Amino acid sequence: MERPIEIVIVGGGTAGWLAALVLQDATRRDGAPARITVVESSRIPTIGVGEGTTAAFRMMLLGLGLDEFEFLRETEATVKLGIRHRDWRGDGSHYDGPIDDPHRVLRPPAGAPDEYLNVYAVGARRPLQDMHLFGRLMARGGAPWARGPEGRPVALGPFHYAYHFDQAKVGRWLRVKAKGVETLDATVAGLERDGASGDVSALALDGGARISGDFFVDATGFRRALIGPMGARWISYSDALPVNRAMPFWLARGADEEIDNFTLARALSAGWLWKIPTQARDGCGYAYNDAFLSPDGARQEVEAALGRPIEPRNDIKIDAGRVDRAWIGNCLALGLATSFLEPLEATTIHGTVVQLSLFAARALAKGGGVATGFRDEYCRRVGRQVDDFRTFVNAHYMGGRADAPFWRDVAASRVHAETRARLDAWRRATPKPADFEDCTLGLPHVGAELHYPVLDGLGLLDPAVAKAELAAVPAARAFARKSYEALSREYRAAARLAMGHAEFLAHARGAA
């Protein structure tokens, strides 16, 4: 029997330990378990407060056979049903972006547009969130669970939701779950490379130790300790993503306060404020542009907006962008080592989950080893994935706000060419799945269904265009109207049955 492939993951945290779990699971399923080692340093602190995921994280959690209630208990995570965007048009209004998709529970008649429910709602000028279970729950503050027999929770619908959590706690919990994964408490001092192939043969560690391996994963975050020396080039997104600093802080929450089931993204004068609830407190931060606001000014604006003092934990530089190649030789970059965008749509962990799934499905060779023939295609697909993240986030700034120098600069110089082209096309025809490349080979991505709430909330879709598209298929229009009304009634009733968010979390803690 051939020896198992030796995989060395550098960096713990969410990305590193997810990689350990997913690669361990995938190689076991292929019948050739790998020997996996995680190199992480206890001397490197974690950065930031609070992080949000997409539903892909929950799908992976359950796919790995991990106990969701234990996860909620041990990490103090909360349920995330979507994002509430406040004041992005400068008029005090807000719109919600629920992450469930009602199209998945209905089969439309032939000829209906792929996004027929969204097209109907836009054309009829009816609220998109009303036909979403998660939209109704966001409005009422409930969890996607009802009280069943003997008080046990019963899921209200078939949709996966997301989480909010403290990433340091999640990293520690995932570490405990990675049974059979070896660990080393060290930092990388250098790379030893094969003279012929250029591949990494071993890592030199602090203190003079070394570790060899067949394949290496860079989960070192901004340091990019492996993929950087391997020759990865940074592609900046500063032309499209206008914030370049983030000031994170915690906010205490009263014992009698309900816990939000959504991420709040509130636009301010030079960027936007996030609020991400964990079970114990709210993780917050101001993502802003320091050309228009100093750190002291940022703190003062946040305190004025919240009506309370804050204690910033840091003031972090944001260098938005991605590496040109996420896989070089025998080194794969994940998480912040691959890309970094402002945290508006929870793209970091989502990207990690999808990239790991793509790599495990297409690059891990049956019977052991890594199929390097997929490397160039993988790099192209991951590049397209992150470019789509960039364009999606850039579109959030297109609501026409012009009440401060920052927002006027955004309108004048931060509209990416791809954003402009897509918005121009969507003024003439509604967004469709075909508008987006299937760069993730069927795995979750930011497609049309996630764009509709944002584009509609910012007033970027033409109701007349949507109405005309459905009018061309009368049966589809009638079906969409009846389905919209039926879903709205059903989900309004379901939301009344829902457990409160805090109540559900208390049950999960007790049942784990």
Give me the active site residues, please: 80
Measure the N-to-C terminal CA separation of the chain; round to a whole number of Å. 40
What count of other Cβ atoms lies within 10 Å of the Cβ of residue 344? 22
Distance CA 63, CA 24 (A): 13
Retrieve residue 502's tokens.
């805090």
Distance CA 435, CA 96 (A): 23
Please report, for residues 84, 134, 155, 205, the alpha-carbon distance to residue 129 in angstroms, rounded to integers and kept in the order given. Answer: 11, 8, 19, 52
CA distance 179 to 68: 17
The single-letter DSSP state of residue 403 is S
Tell me the β-bridge partners of 249.
284
3-class SS of residue 463: helix
Closest CA to 393 of 364, 414, 409, 375: 414
Alpha carbon distance 446, 394 (integer Å): 13
Separation of alpha carbons 42 and 65, rounded Å: 28
What is the spatial distance between Cα 431 and Cα 425, in angstroms, rounded to a whole number? 8
**Side by side, which strands form the sheet with 245-252?**
94-98, 82-86, 263-268, 271-277, 281-288, 245-252, 316-317
Q: 199: part of which helix (H) or strand (E)?
A: none
Which residues partner with 95 through β-bridges?
A: 85
Three-state helix/strand/coil letters over 25-70: HHHHHCCCCCEEEEEECCCCCCCCCCEECCHHHHHHHHHCCCCHHH
List all residues 6 or more positions away from 82 whose beta carbon is below 8 Å from its beta carbon: 96, 97, 98, 99, 134, 135, 138, 262, 263, 453
Distance from C-alpha of 114 to C-alpha of 125, rounded to nearest angstrom: 19
CA atoms within 13 A on the CB side of 467: 7
Checking DSSP bridges between strand 210-212 and strand 215-218, what pairing results, if any? unpaired
**Residue 217: CB partners within 8 Å, gap ≥ 6?**
7, 8, 9, 10, 16, 19, 23, 331, 332, 333, 334
